[in-house]
Amino acid sequence: MLKVFLNPGHAPNGNPDPGACGCGLRESDVAAQVGHLVESYLQKAGCDVVTLQSDSLSEICDAANEWGADVFVSIHCNSAASEFARGVETFSYPGSIGGRDVAGCIQRQIVGAFGEIDPDFPDRGLKEANFYVVRNTDMPACLVEMAFISNEEDAALLKYHADDFARAIARGVTDYEQAIS
């Protein structure tokens, strides 16, 4: 049974850190909603899941490492100064093959799902970054930036298609599970 650790980004209830805010949405709220849906879908698929939203990055990484997770997924909304920035991108730690593999599975599922909902939704691709949560976890880890909360079209997708994001993330994790089996 795959042990999946989910981390909806930023502080619970947005206190003290709601993350990015835009178009009437707060990142912490969107991430929590999607995270709980992902948890439900993964449990139905037979995965063992722990979800932790916290403003302490060290607490998050310590919890994932101590639990012995097989996979770590941090769920976020992107933001940019330009209101025209759009799309999904998924990050892994530089040189982490497992992290890149799980990131790729999730990225493909989101791009596939949203290509049907919004044909103009951009695939910003797989990226590498030195983010704390992908650097300090002992298992394949990725951070998914689902869409830009600072863009009206993307914000509408986050608001009205949270379930589609959640299903795509869960399918990406189960795709990864099948690939490593």
How many Å from the N-terminal Cα to the C-terminal Cα in the chain?
A: 11
In what helix (H) or strand (E) does residue 39 lie, and over which residues does it extend?
A: helix 27-44
d(CA 165, CA 161): 6
Q: Are 6 and 39 in contact (CB under 8 A)?
A: yes
Q: Are 70 and 139 in contact (CB under 8 A)?
A: yes
**Dihedral-angle region of residue 78 (phi above 0 means left; psi in -120 to 50 means alpha; beta otherwise):** beta
Q: Is 93 helix (H, G, I), strand (E, B) or coil?
A: coil
List active site positions. Answer: 145
Q: Are 93 and 99 in contact (CB under 8 A)?
A: yes
d(CA 113, CA 157): 12
